[in-house]
Structure 1
């Protein structure tokens, strides 16, 4: 498997992605439209992804939202898997090897690493952004910072 470089958050790459995302979402505030565009944008622009999408919170369960990639798990309870852990803890989960994560939910056996960012607006948990990669240790701390920045653009520009 070819190993592709990760993107540093402080490089012009994340600056470019932030500018492109801002332009992409400009003038549209609908949550389904914006999360669908954002998932497609990340899947197209970031190297070495095999899934990019959202799980939105309904009661105590994350429910599949807009995504790009293979079919996925539809419902994830809070506290289960990487997504449920990120949602319950309200902290980004960056997992270098998902096969070593206790309770990992394998929607796609080709996924080897994952980053999940909780979406929190005005203190309210809305859901999570989930990115999977077939590459081990795909997501760096710089990716985390850059992706959290992009999620803030989504949150600021969307009426959730």
Structure 2
């Protein structure tokens, strides 16, 4: 059976990153966008990353332009936005599709493991998947769920 660590994703810098690099960590995998009403969540995601990284936690950001065209930039523009506006230090990956025929296989896996309230399809930017240290998807959070609101669930896994 496939697991989170079986996938590889391209970083914003164009490097292939095997997710085995994060094996043994608690992960919060998020589809992000730079021009969304939920974009300010970058601040809370970064705070979680900084607060818990030393304990084996990482946020993984996956920009997506499938919802309202809210991530129109290229990799350089996305990186610059994240660094200058939100001082993001957690790993950011190349833009992906999270639904449809061009969907990144990681998101196909995540959605199959944890369906949402209205089915498996991702409905908007900033849908979040919580993964335990063994690579199991243990939670799925709606775009409206704030990073701070997930703090207790994350701490329970650390």
Flag whether TM exceeds 0.5 (same fold): no
**Normalising by the residue count of structure 1, what TM-score does the alignment of the two structures yield?**
0.35
User: How does the TM-score come out when normalised to structure 2?
Assistant: 0.36
Structure with bigger RCO (C-alpha 8 Å, 6+ apart): 2
